[in-house]
């Protein structure tokens, strides 16, 4: 076993996984998982910069994570930053703050590498036939990754600039959003999917696996959970009508109504409507493109964070 620490810093949240990676480098066991909603990407879409307030929230979370990494004696640490940091003009300030707290430089990875890591994380715990063509969808705050592969690995991948924070700021200003706002957001999702289809053969998809907080939250709604239950959510396969109803309920709810749901993280209350809209629109298009073959989706609690932890064990 090798103990690694993985940090995934996205547009909405920053997450830590400390794990023991098996000698074969293909599986891991959790030691510690933590998540903080810091909204690093707040306003980046409009200003092109990380705000001082967002940096302050992120660095405070990192101080906590650094203490946990020391406490658990992680041998290797890998820090990955994604969409919001890729877009920011002042990302050097962020990089310096991370290095000062953790002693490692954050890697501002490409969308394609982000997609590959997400696939690796999902593949580490979900079983499928050797030749089964699986699409992993990682729906984040600032971007969504689509990666198609088999048990042998990734075949094609693409990252798009759509996510729950970005779409909330651009389109869904109402509480709840009105039909005009919803229609504009859905049209943009479909435009992105046309671009995705040019690089990833979506018509070949046989199975869909969704990862990250939006998808697990929609799954919690669909399952009727009273509190967030990772064990119930992980591996849950739901038919598309069930997912569509759950997504629609979250989109139509007010922020007050969302807050009252026992499974809802406070940091997702204002953006889950946009995430739910994106997820249901993706699935509806996949059903059409596959002539109905895609009629369900699987939620995974294991995602890019697991992929980062596995990759850290392979670093020299």
For residue 62, the domain's CATH number is: 3.30.420.40
Q: What angle do CA 35, 280, 204 make, to 5 degrees?
A: 100
Domain containing 178 equals 112-300
User: Which has more confidence, 133 or 304?
Assistant: 133
pTM for this model (two decimals): 0.82
pLDDT band at 316 (very low <50, low <70, confident <90, very high): low
Cβ neighbours for 121, distance < 8 A, ≥ 6 positions apart: 211, 300, 302, 303, 304, 305, 306, 307, 308, 310
> Does residue 307 belong to any structural domain of this protein?
no
Name the domain boundary from 55, 85, 111. 111
Are 265 and 288 in a shared domain? yes
Residue 308 lies in a domain: no
263-298 burial, b if ≥16 CB within 10 A, otherwise e?
Answer: bbbebbbbbbbbbbbbbbbbbbbbbebbeeebeebb
Helices (H), ranges, 88-158 = 91-102, 111-123
Q: What is the pLDDT of residue 315?
A: 77
Residue 310 lies in a domain: no
Q: What pLDDT is stored for residue 109 in this prediction?
A: 79
226 and 239 co-located in one domain: yes
CATH number of domain containing 243 = 3.30.420.150
Q: State whether 96 and 116 are in the same domain.
A: no
Are 81 and 127 in a shared domain? Answer: no
Whether 196 and 130 share a structural domain: yes
Instruction: Tell me, yes or no, whether 66 lies in a domain.
Output: yes
Q: What is the pLDDT of residue 83?
A: 63
Single out the residue in 92, 111, 130 at which a domain terminates.
Answer: 111
Residue 312 lies in a domain: no
**pLDDT score at 84:** 67
Dihedral, CA atoms, 39, 234, 16, 73, nearest 10 degrees?
170
Indicate whether 60 belongs to any domain. yes
The pair of three-digit structure tokens given for residue 244, joined into one six-digit string: 């569509």
In a domain, 311, yes or no: no
Q: Is residue 147 part of a domain?
A: yes
Confidence of residue 1 (pLDDT cuts 50, 70, 90): confident
Mark whether 79 and 168 lie in a shared domain. no
Please state, rounded to an integer, the average pLDDT across all residues of the chain.
Answer: 92
pLDDT tens by residue, 8-51: 998 888 999 999 998 877 788 999 999 998 999 888 888 889 99
Q: Are residues 267 and 155 in the same domain?
A: yes
- In terms of domains, do 77 and 193 share one? no
Summarize pLDDT for 236-280 with one digit per residue, the tens: 999 999 999 999 999 999 999 999 999 999 989 999 999 999 999
Give pLDDT, residue 125.
Answer: 62
Q: Residue 59 and residue 20: Cα distance in Å, rounded?
A: 25
CA distance 140 to 156: 19
- 258 and 137, same domain (yes or no): yes
Per-residue pLDDT tens for 91-142? Answer: 899 999 999 999 999 888 776 777 778 887 787 666 777 789 999 999 988 8
Structural domain count of the chain: 2
Rounded to the nearest angstrom, the gap between the alpha carbon of residue 5 and the centroid of all alpha carbons in its chain is 18
Work out the burial of residue 73: count CB atoms within 10 Å of its CB; fewer than 13 is exposed, 13-18 middle, 19 or more buried: exposed
Q: Which of 77, 111, 145 is the last residue in one of the domains?
A: 111
Per-residue pLDDT tens digits for 165-218:
999 999 999 999 999 999 999 999 999 999 999 999 999 999 999 998 999 999
Same domain, 178 and 256: yes
Q: Same domain for 137 and 259?
A: yes
Are 74 and 210 contained in the same domain? no
């Amino acid at each position: 076993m090798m103990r690694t620490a993985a940090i995934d810093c996205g547009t909405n949240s920053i997450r830590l996984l400390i794990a023991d990676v098996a000698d074969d480098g293909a599986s891991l066991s959790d030691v510690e998982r933590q998540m903080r909603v810091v909204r690093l990407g707040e306003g980046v879409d409009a200003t092109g910069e990380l705000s001082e307030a967002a940096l302050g929230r992120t660095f405070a979370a990192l101080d906590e994570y650094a203490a946990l990494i020391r406490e658990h004696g992680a041998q290797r640490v890998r820090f990955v930053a994604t969409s919001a940091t890729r877009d920011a003009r002042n990302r050097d300030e962020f990089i310096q703050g991370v290095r000062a707290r953790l002693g490692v430089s954050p890697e501002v990875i490409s969308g394609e590498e982000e997609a590959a890591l997400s696939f690796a994380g999902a593949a580490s715990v979900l079983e499928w036939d050797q030749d089964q063509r699986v699409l992993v969808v990682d729906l984040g705050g600032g971007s969504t990754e689509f990666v198609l592969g088999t048990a042998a690995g990734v075949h094609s991948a693409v990252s798009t600039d759509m996510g729950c924070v970005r779409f909330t700021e651009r389109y869904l200003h109402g509480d709840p959003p009105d039909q005009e706002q919803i229609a504009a957001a859905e049209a943009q999702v479909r435009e992105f999917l046309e671009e995705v289809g040019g690089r990833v053969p979506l018509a070949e998809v046989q199975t869909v696996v969704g990862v990250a907080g939006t998808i697990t939250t929609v799954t919690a709604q669909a399952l009727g959970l009273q509190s967030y239950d990772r064990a119930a959510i992980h591996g849950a396969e739901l038919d598309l009508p069930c997912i569509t109803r759950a997504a629609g309920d979250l989109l139509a709810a007010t922020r007050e109504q969302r807050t009252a749901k026992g499974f809802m993280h406070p940091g997702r209350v204002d953006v889950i409507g946009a995430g739910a809209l994106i997820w249901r629109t993706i699935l509806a298009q996949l059903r059409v493109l596959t002539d109905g073959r895609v009629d369900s989706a699987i939620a995974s609690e294991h995602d890019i964070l697991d992929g980062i932890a596995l990759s850290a064990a392979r670093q020299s």
